Homo-oligomer: A and B are copies of this chain.
């Protein structure tokens, strides 16, 4: 599978960046080290200056790629959702049963990362940690509406729509397919976060990867079951 992915590039919507970081070596350095540094410091303490220092350049260079720290975060998150969507499409083609496809989708949302599915300069495991801890900050802003109009959240919406469609295939009468999908997607994040940091809020045991998937799968299939 690796050689197949060598020819694949996860594309992020054009108006998220000023200059495509995938198009140059410096750009890829920025992405790669931004992921490492945000994971290490947290979004609040992460600055363009520190990132510039780390890759031996100056803030000005990074600002040529991304308008702001916020947009860099939006970029990383969009990349992540596009990556999940790619994996979902790949894993569900030629599978007839929508129940089976839904199971796969929930597995992907639960954060199962197969290590052979990696891209050169992006550490997917670390990126996932960032998405868990920081993605909510991308939309919990006074600028949501403006950002939404600019299309910054299209990747997320596209993935959710796709999974919602599977649910509607299984259970056309279920009234809340979109809410269910976004609930599962978000739940997956903070259940992982709670398992690590606030364990009394969850029954998911850190490390036992399948518990989260089990919890969410159970939740979804019971919710949409037709009587």
Contact = CB atoms under 8 A, between A and B. Distances in A.
Copies in the complex: 2
DSSP majority for the A interface? helix
Given A179-B204, A223-B218, A198 B139 contact: yes
Contacts of A153: 198
A44 B142 contact: yes
Q: How large is the interface on A (under 10, 10 to 19, 20 to 34, 35 or more residues)?
A: 35 or more
A87 B93 CA distance: 49
Contacts of A133: 140
Nearest to A190: B186
Interface of A: 41-42, 44-45, 133-134, 136-137, 139-142, 144-145, 148, 153, 156-157, 160-161, 175-183, 186-187, 190-191, 193-194, 197-198, 200-204, 214-215, 218-219, 222-223, 225
